[in-house]
Chain A
């Protein structure tokens, strides 16, 4: 599965208020309807706000940080930054 589906979701987040609302109100349903479809691993990581994992899978950081900017999936920008830092701590 390509990480493109995660990147595409983050790209849409910037321009689609309705998607942001859906991700706030019923995140799993919104993620399951993403096109192209997310893999199970990607979907679970997004639901958990596990941006460290998604980063290591190759997600684009410029796009990924938009989840924090728009306070989605349990993230805000400080939480996003903390999780990225934690994923690369000691390196």
Chain B
């Protein structure tokens, strides 16, 4: 069986790579926070990453919007939406991706299959910080966290748990880690902007609550709290939390070995070590 070794959760602001490259005042903090997650992954030494992400209206918006989909291409390049960021090609564990997609459908999770696509910044920004050599293949799991209606949080948790179950039935000793990419409270371009930006943090109290729940390992309770109404109140990108809930279903739900928020951005960085049975 595959071995689930742990996971990380990180944000993916498209502005962060430039802030670090230009060594702006926030750069040392970003290097430290992404550095924690990157070092954690290096220590976990995964053979493959299950990468939970939300398409930002780039892959699926026109043809069809799947609630869940798994990318099964051999690799994908990006970022499609921020050409000014460094281009990269992320390898995909395509055989495992196809196996997972098929087994999830057999288990009555109606997960789509994406055979040709470019990654957008929610994948490439974290990957550029976490594994800049792009030498660990991923299985991209797309969760529709941005285009309502969103899947329910308990369903996303169940998806993560089911992926763990499928992986644990695999032969061999593949080491698997999970990655979540997203914010807890974030508005992009909508009415709840900050006074000085085209973005805003509509519900900082919710972001604090999320942090407390995941810090305490209360993932099922968090999923129950993360209602459609609550996620809508927390901003038009707050559904990105669903990636964290799925990641914790797969790699958790134990206590985080590292957890630190950037409250001014409504997001956090976290690391988990999966308890061995």
Contact indicator B191/A62 (Cβ below 8 Å): no
If A61-B188, A62-B188 touch, does A85 touch B193 (CB 8 Å cutoff)?
yes
Nearest A residue (CB) for B188? A62
Nearest B residue (CB) for A69? B198
Contact indicator A80/B236 (Cβ below 8 Å): no
How far does the Cβ of A6 sit from chain B's closest Cβ, in whole Å?
Answer: 13
If A84-B193, A85-B193 touch, does A65 touch B198 (CB 8 Å cutoff)?
yes
How far does the Cβ of A72 sit from chain B's closest Cβ, in whole Å?
Answer: 14
The distance in angstroms between the C-alpha atoms of A78 and B198, with both chains bound, is: 7
The distance in angstroms between the C-alpha atoms of A64 and B195, with both chains bound, is: 18
Nearest B residue (CB) for A51? B189
The distance in angstroms between the C-alpha atoms of A69 and B191, with both chains bound, is: 16
Residues in A with CB closer than 8 Å to B191 are 55, 61, 84-85, 87-88, 91
Residue B8 CB within 8 A of the other chain = no
Contact indicator A61/B190 (Cβ below 8 Å): yes
Chain B interface extent, by class: 10 to 19
Q: For residues 29 through 66 of chain A, which have their beta carbon under 8 Å from a beta carbon of chain B?
A: 55, 60-65
Residues in A with CB closer than 8 Å to B58 are 14-15
Contact indicator A15/B80 (Cβ below 8 Å): yes
If A65-B188, A84-B190 touch, does A11 touch B198 (CB 8 Å cutoff)?
no
The distance in angstroms between the C-alpha atoms of A52 and B238, with both chains bound, is: 22
What total count of A-B pairs have CB within 8 Å? Answer: 55
The distance in angstroms between the C-alpha atoms of A7 and B190, with both chains bound, is: 14
Contact indicator B81/A14 (Cβ below 8 Å): yes
Selected contact of B57 from candidates A62, A68, A81, CB within 8 Å? A62
How far does the Cβ of B54 sit from chain A's closest Cβ, in whole Å?
Answer: 11
The secondary structure that dominates the B interface is: loop
Residues in B with CB closer than 8 Å to A15 are 58, 80-81
Residues of B within 8 A of A (CB): 56-58, 61-62, 80-81, 146, 187-191, 193, 195, 197-198, 236-237
The distance in angstroms between the C-alpha atoms of A8 and B63, with both chains bound, is: 11
Q: Which 6 A-B pairs have the closest CB atoms?
A: A65-B189, A61-B190, A61-B189, A88-B191, A81-B198, A77-B198
Selected contact of B197 from candidates A7, A14, A81, CB within 8 Å? A81
Contact indicator B189/A80 (Cβ below 8 Å): yes
The distance in angstroms between the C-alpha atoms of A84 and B193, with both chains bound, is: 8
The distance in angstroms between the C-alpha atoms of A63 and B189, with both chains bound, is: 8
If A61-B189, A85-B193 touch, does A80 touch B56 (CB 8 Å cutoff)?
no
Residues in A with CB closer than 8 Å to B62 are 8, 11
Selected contact of B56 from candidates A62, A64, A87, CB within 8 Å? A62
The distance in angstroms between the C-alpha atoms of A77 and B194, with both chains bound, is: 13
